[in-house]
Amino acid sequence: FSSDTGTIPPERCLFGIMLNISTFLGVATMFVRYKQVCALIPGNSRILRLNRIGLTLGWMSCFGLCIIANFQKCVLYYIHVLGACLTFGVGALYMLLQTVLSFRMQPEFHGKGIFWARLAVLLWSSGSIGTMFVSSLLLYSGLYGPDLVQKLHWDPQERGYTPHMISTVSEWSLAFSFLSFFLTYIRDFQKVSLAAVVTLQGQPLPHVSPPGPGAEEQRLLLAGSV
């Protein structure tokens, strides 16, 4: 599995850092997508409801990715599996809702190509989940011996090598399908501009020192110019 690469140090440390950063980026991307849909269709209650559900599912999926990063397979296996189910299972539901939203938002806000691209990635992800589930169930059913969870190095001549390889390829395929789905947001986010507004709250200080050389820049910053 892809998790086998992050079970021993120093790979485990790099694996955790990478996934934690990915969690933050996923949360930010899903929030921007949520705000975009809210801005484009503010009066459609059904789409807004689906949008809120999608954001919740997306953040649950990101939380699962954080669990995967910090609870390694060979340390706490069942917690790691829980994180994988949240990441990939709930993440697939997020992709499904976003695909439905893309269908409902065409052709006014989305082209048909975006919808078909997301549908294709969703089917790719679903196929990878099904293949990984069946092969993993077969591998850990006991037919190929006990304690396979802790096994990291496989020989092609060993029993269970074939379902292990199928599971590994399926899991990597699933990871790439998730990345590909986020790439479909590129065209949408090209139409988005973000601005920061700074607001100073509280009473002014009673004693203010004479303005220094940088006073003009500070006044601009407090006024909201970033």
3-state helix, strand, coil in the chain (%, to 5): 65, 0, 35
CA 82 and chain centroid, separation: 15
Residue 222: inside a domain? no
Residue 160: inside a domain? yes
- Tell me the whole-structure pTM to 2 decimals: 0.78
Residue 9: inside a domain? yes
Number of domains in the chain: 1
User: For residue 65, which of 25, 98, 23 has the smallest C-alpha distance?
Assistant: 23
Residue 35: inside a domain? yes
Residue 24: inside a domain? yes
Residue 136: inside a domain? yes
Residue 221: inside a domain? no
Annotate 107-141 with three-state secondary structure. Answer: CCCCCHHHHHHHHHHHHHHHHHHHHHHHHHHHHCC
Cα dihedral 134, 150, 176, 169 in deg (nearest 10): -50
Q: Do the Cβ atoms of 64 and 81 come closer than 8 Å?
A: no
Burial class (CB in 10 A: 0-12, 13-18, 19+), 166: middle
Band (pLDDT 50/70/90 cuts) for residue 144 is low
Would you state the structure tokens that stand for residue 26, as one six-digit string?
A: 């996923």
Instruction: Return the pLDDT at 72.
Output: 75
167-183 confidence digits (pLDDT tens): 888 888 988 999 999 99
Domain that holds residue 101: 4-204
207-217 confidence digits (pLDDT tens): 555 555 555 54
Residue 106: inside a domain? yes
104-129 confidence digits (pLDDT tens): 888 777 778 888 999 999 999 999 99
Mean pLDDT value of segment 20-37: 91
How far apart CA 9 and CA 15 sit, in angstroms, is 9
